[in-house]
Amino acid sequence: MDKRYDAVIVGTGAAGLYAALNFPESVSVLLISKRELPLSNSSLAQGGVACVLDTVHDNYKLHINDTLVAGKYKNTLSAVEKLVKEGPADVLRTKDLGVDYDLNPDGTMCKTLEAGHSRHRIVHHKDSTGKAIVDALIEQVRKLPNVDILENALLYSMHKTLGGFYLSVLKDGKSLYYGCNYCLLATGGIGRVYQYTTNSAIATGDGIAFAYMLGAKIRNLSRVQFHPTAFAAEANRERFLISEAVRGEGAVLLNCNGERFAHNYDKRGELAPRDVVSNAIAREALRTNSEKFYLDITHKPADFIKSRFPMIYAKCLEEGIDITKEWIPVYPCQHYLMGGIDVNLHSETSIDGLYAAGECAHTGVHGANRLASNSLLEALVYSRTAAEDITRKLQKYGRKPLGLEPAHRPITGKKMPSGFRSQIRAILQDTYFVLPKPEKYDESYKKVEEIIKQLFSESYEISSDLVEAKSIAIVASIILDEVREGQS
Ligand SMILES: Cc1cc2nc3c(=O)[nH]c(=O)nc-3n(C[C@H](O)[C@H](O)[C@H](O)COP(=O)(O)OP(=O)(O)OC[C@H]3O[C@@H](n4cnc5c(N)ncnc54)[C@H](O)[C@@H]3O)c2cc1C
């Protein structure tokens, strides 16, 4: 074993970083990230974090209600209450930790409106809130004496023992081996299971796959959110998000004929929850026989657009669109996962000592559909909860012996043939997108199972390609199995 820790956190998005900041110095922690620290879905978040800070114009009941309405009342109420009531303190803590939220002239935090929210309650840093949070938290985590950080280090295998876990990590072509009593999976979402996604390259569902292989309960993985307005680039797999906040500030959706149509499908129009707007676009595409859609914010003053959405303005300009004068081409794509590794209110999974937080976890807060800007809040609240619960357990039970180390499997082997990942992505994109195709569920599931057999039957060389191919195959298979069994 290379080193033994009290706790290992896998992931350096908002969930992993904030968890690290919530351990006392007495707890030894290893924090690992399979790529550079800032590369994560968290860094891509634009709109902001939803929380009730203004108790004159807003209150917890309203935020809870908006979350339940968006989630179609399939949310776990106790998890939503915890999120909404504990969230404001965590957001204020991140401000104290240096996150540069936009402020009003009187020093209070600016709050904007997003789809599905009945009040202005989204705090933000321009249109790059996630990056502001991640940058500030990384700076703070680097100062922690009890936290070792391992960058570009891929967790590729987990072994459970009586007292904890042994983790195998691939770094610089070598295998490293760590032991810990507690492990927190904060490995993010599954966007890369789809052909087109707003998610970062790291979003391959690794943590979910590892938890599943350990026998953890996985729930509602087929609850996938498709964002209605991603920049409709011709080529890129990772599609740039045109945040809800753009519609919140008055942008309207147009079809291929330049006509508004969202109100024909739902009276809330462009500001209906994401699934409703995505659905409206998909149905309008069938009606008009065209996948060309646009967002128009040109009626707003150019100076306002540039200062409120500097990143979106710059990114669209790179693609040849000046959003102060031209319509933005948009189309729905995979964006977020509501389901995941099932956890309780302490962020504990069904496996002793294994915790999960952030997008890889299923707390039940989002129900059938996530309300905009609730996910960063969830990442903060439930990762802090995990750190607190692990600390309590360490105080109560001490450092338990880990038990026998398993035999090491060499990382060398045959090179994995290419093509598995693109096959899986094509299957999911075709079978289970905004308007799912139930007639294809069985056939697609069988195809994915066949790929899994091939991936697991050979002793391929351990590489990120292999680990991620296995992860997305397992995730795709769970999703398709869930929908064909009608479980979600
Ligand atoms: C474009 C975009 C915009 C968004 N906007 C908003 C918004 O405005 N408001 C909001 O609330 N939410 C938003 N979201 C959602 C939100 O950003 C994410 O749900 C949240 O940040 C997830 O945080 P996380 O810490 O769980 O995961 P991530 O931030 O994705 O971090 C995952 C981490 O796990 C690591 N990892 C994964 N697998 C392994 C492995 N095998 N070994 C080692 N490390 C591993 C990765 O390297 C990474 O560090 C947005 C998402 C996207 C994609």
Q: What is the pLDDT of residue 236?
A: 66
- Whether 80 maps to a domain, the answer reads no
- Whether 246 maps to a domain, the answer reads yes
Range of the domain at 323: 230-334
- Whether 215 maps to a domain, the answer reads yes
* Same domain as 249, residue 379: no
- Whether 105 maps to a domain, the answer reads no
Q: Please report the atom of ligand 1 found closest to the CA of residue 155.
A: 42
* Same domain as 429, residue 391: no
CA distance 161 to 482: 29
- Whether 111 maps to a domain, the answer reads no
* Same domain as 149, residue 19: yes
What distance in angstroms lies between residue 199's CA and the mean position of ligand 1's atoms? 8
Q: What is the pLDDT of residue 375?
A: 97
Q: Residue 238: give its domain's CATH number.
A: 3.90.700.10
Q: What is the pLDDT of residues 205-226, one digit of tens each?
A: 999 999 999 999 999 999 999 9
- Whether 208 maps to a domain, the answer reads yes
- pLDDT over 80 at 69, yes or no: yes
Catalytic residue chosen out of the listed positions 121, 274, 308, 425: 274
Are the C-beta atoms of 11 and 359 separated by less than 8 Å?
A: no
Whether 170 lines ligand 1, by a CB cut-off of 6 Å, is no
Q: What is the pLDDT of residue 314?
A: 95
What distance in angstroms lies between residue 265's CA and the mean position of ligand 1's atoms? 31
* Same domain as 38, residue 138: yes
Q: What is the pLDDT of residue 239?
A: 87
* Same domain as 139, residue 12: yes
CA-proximal residue: ligand 1, atom 53 (nearest)? 199
- From 318, 334, 350, give the residue that closes a domain: 334
CA distance 12 to 152: 11
Q: What is the pLDDT of residues 84-141, one digit of tens each?
A: 999 999 999 999 999 999 999 999 999 988 888 999 999 999 989 999 999 999 999 9
Q: Please report the atom of ligand 1 found closest to the CA of residue 124.
A: 8
Please state the domain count of the chain. 3
274 is catalytic: yes
For the chain, give the percent of residues with pLDDT over 90.
90
What distance in angstroms lies between residue 49's CA and the mean position of ligand 1's atoms? 14
Q: Residue 132: give its domain's CATH number.
A: 3.50.50.60
CA distance 125 to 42: 13
Best residue for ligand 1 mutational test, from 37, 39, 41 (most atoms within 8 Å of Cβ): 41
Q: What is the pLDDT of residues 338-389, one digit of tens each?
A: 999 999 999 999 999 999 999 999 999 999 999 989 999 999 999 999 999 9
* Same domain as 320, residue 451: no
